[in-house]
């Protein structure tokens, strides 16, 4: 089983490792594009309109640009430590077997393409939805390299990525995209709505529970049973595993 995760805008900043070494990263076939994106990002950060180009919130722009300008010299930290925020809080990596999690989780990134939890990179800020001159939209830029670099081994893919990150690589079959809905009664009838913040928490919890249990589903139907057995309310709807949260 492969579990695909998005990154987090929130990141730890206490790097204590050696400077960036692209040759040490997983999926080395992505390195030519990594170099291209690093170069384009360095140029973009020198522009007067850098914050707008990178779609950085005003209160976070200065810090993000400062970090992006020193990516080759900054101390690194493992991906397992780098990403924080709601999804990763609920993923609770310290509670999991490190080897199993590192083998099964792939984290997608606008800057690095895809990473394993053991990879070491510096804190950065670059979302996949950004159109980075002159490279263009990152999801489109990464797509050809991703097709060659990422696993095509027939194992079940559990896709927990958000839209822009999912656009960079279409997971091969068998694959299931995890969606999250809140269900409540409206006028006596159940009504479902898409949620965002709660969806991150739910995806993190489900990934944690699957890994903690040592689950090894090979088909969407086996995944449905495994997640349901772990106490979650789920339905299989076509290519999607729908998680239902109740008030």
Closest CA to 106 of 167, 141, 158, 142: 158
pLDDT in tens, 108-144: 999 999 999 999 999 999 999 999 998 899 999 999 9
Confidence at residue 169, expressed as pLDDT on a 0 to 100 scale: 97
Tell me how far CA of residue 158 lies from CA of 4, 124, 135, 212, 216, in angstroms: 6, 26, 29, 15, 11
| DSSP H or E run through 229 | helix 220-229
Q: Give the number of C-alpha atoms closer than 13 A to the C-alpha of residue 185, restricted to the C-beta side.
A: 3
pLDDT in tens, 139-179: 999 999 999 999 999 999 999 999 999 999 999 999 999 99
Confidence at residue 197, expressed as pLDDT on a 0 to 100 scale: 78
Query: Residue 95 in contact with residue 20, Cβ under 8 Å?
Result: no
Q: Give the number of C-alpha atoms closer than 13 A to the C-alpha of residue 100, restricted to the C-beta side.
A: 16
Confidence bin at 183 (pLDDT 50/70/90):
confident
The residue among 121 and 189 whose pLDDT is bigger is 121
Crossing angle of helices 197-213 and 220-229, rounded to 10°: 90
pLDDT in tens, 11-66: 999 999 999 999 999 999 999 999 999 999 999 999 999 999 999 998 999 999 99
């Amino acid at each position: 089983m492969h579990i695909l995760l998005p990154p987090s805008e929130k990141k730890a900043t206490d790097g204590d490792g050696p400077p960036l070494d692209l040759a040490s990263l997983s999926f080395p076939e992505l390195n030519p594009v990594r170099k291209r994106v690093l170069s384009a990002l360095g140029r973009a950060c020198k522009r007067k309109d850098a914050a707008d180009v990178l779609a950085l919130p005003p209160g976070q722009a200065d810090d993000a640009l400062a970090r992006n300008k020193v990516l080759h010299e900054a101390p690194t930290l493992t991906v397992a430590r780098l990403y924080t925020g709601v999804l990763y809080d609920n993923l609770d990596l310290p509670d999991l077997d490190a080897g199993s999690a590192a083998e099964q989780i792939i984290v997608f990134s606008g800057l690095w393409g895809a990473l394993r939890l053991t990879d070491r990179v510096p804190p950065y800020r670059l979302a996949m939805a950004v159109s980075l001159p002159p490279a263009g939209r990152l999801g489109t830029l990464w797509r050809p390299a991703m097709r060659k670099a990422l696993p095509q081994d027939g194992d079940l893919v559990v896709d927990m990525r958000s839209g822009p990150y999912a656009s960079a690589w279409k997971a091969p079959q068998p694959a299931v995209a995890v969606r999250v809905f809140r269900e409540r009664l409206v006028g006596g009838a159940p009504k479902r709505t898409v949620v965002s913040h709660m969806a991150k928490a739910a995806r993190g919890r489900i990934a944690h529970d699957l890994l903690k249990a040592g689950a090894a589903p090979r088909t969407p139907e086996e995944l449905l049973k495994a997640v349901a057995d772990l106490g979650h309310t789920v339905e299989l709807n076509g290519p999607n595993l729908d998680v239902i949260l109740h008030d």
